[in-house]
Amino acid sequence: MSTAGDKPSDRNAARHAAILLIGPTGSGKTPLGNLLEARGLWGRRCVHFDFGASLRACAAGAGHGAGLTRGECTLLAQMLESEALLEDEHFRIAENVLRSFLADRDAGPQTLVVLNGLPRHVGQATDMKRVVRVEALVHLSCPPKVIRERVRTNAGGDRTDRSDDDARAVAHKMAVFQERTAPLVAYYRDGGTPVITIGVAADTTADAMWQRLNESPPNRA
């Protein structure tokens, strides 16, 4: 006989509520995530998990607080250098970094976790289900010409001193996004997760994105 702890509803309650920001490089995920953390969303407290920033910190030697070994920190540094994605066999690293973040930020049952950069592909999305339940996907739709202009002008104000914004790197990131990350929109939509699409122009600000998002709560959120 199943116990109360075995019920799917109880297992879901143990996971953290989240929204996932999806968009190509330069579309404004990080500025939006920071603003969501500062203002909250739909009357709820938000914490912004910027996976890329967390990985860079871990690769620089700050990974031991997340339970990472020296070898795993070295692996992260190599992956960042080669612009590779963290694949399924290394998801434990991503999970440890995320769980450490949630504990550090005291993310409780009413907290909305803003996921930025994780998951990056369907394999990670499947593994993420044991940590979070994604209540909405926010798709920042931004064509290549606009991406290049936003990166060139630092439209979001978050790309100062970035060493990975040359034309070759941006083109590579756009190609990887289309091949590996963009399919997440259909993956979540097909699974019943509400998808909120926000069109991003060269001069679209994080404030404008936040206003649009805050006015469009999904039915399930």
On the question of pLDDT at 34 being above 80, the answer is yes
Structurally, the chain folds into a number of domains equal to 1
Of 23-32, 51-60, 80-89, give the range with the top mean pLDDT.
23-32
Instruction: Let me know if residue 94 belongs to a domain.
Output: no
Task: State the pLDDT confidence band at 91, using cuts at 50, 70 and 90.
Answer: confident
What is the Cα–Cα distance from 115 to 208, expressed in whole angstroms?
19
What is the Cα–Cα distance from 220 to 70, expressed in whole angstroms?
41
Read off the pLDDT of residues 94-110 as tens digits, 9 standing for 90 and up. 888 899 899 999 998 88
Instruction: Let me know if residue 144 belongs to a domain.
Output: yes
The burial of 202, by beta-carbon neighbours within 10 Å (0-12 exposed, 13-18 middle, 19 or more buried), is given as: middle
Mean pLDDT of 24-41: 96
Parallel/antiparallel/unpaired status of strands 132-141 and 112-116:
unpaired
Domain interval for residue 123: 12-50+110-214
| CB-based contacts of 203, cutoff 8 Å, min separation 6 | 155
Please give the radius of gyration of the chain, using alpha carbons only, rounded to the nearest integer: 17
Instruction: Let me know if residue 98 belongs to a domain.
Output: no
| Residue located via tokens 């509803």 | 9
Mean pLDDT of 144-159: 87
On the question of pLDDT at 157 being above 90, the answer is no
Question: Cβ(16)–Cβ(115) under 8 Å?
Answer: no
Q: Can you give the pLDDT at residue 86?
A: 78
Lowest mean pLDDT among 67-71, 149-153, 156-160: 156-160
| 188: CATH | 3.40.50.300
Instruction: Let me know if residue 174 belongs to a domain.
Output: yes
What is the Cα–Cα distance from 118 to 98, expressed in whole angstroms?
9
Q: Can you give the pLDDT at residue 71?
A: 78
Instruction: Let me know if residue 59 belongs to a domain.
Output: no
Question: Cβ(17)–Cβ(83) under 8 Å?
Answer: no
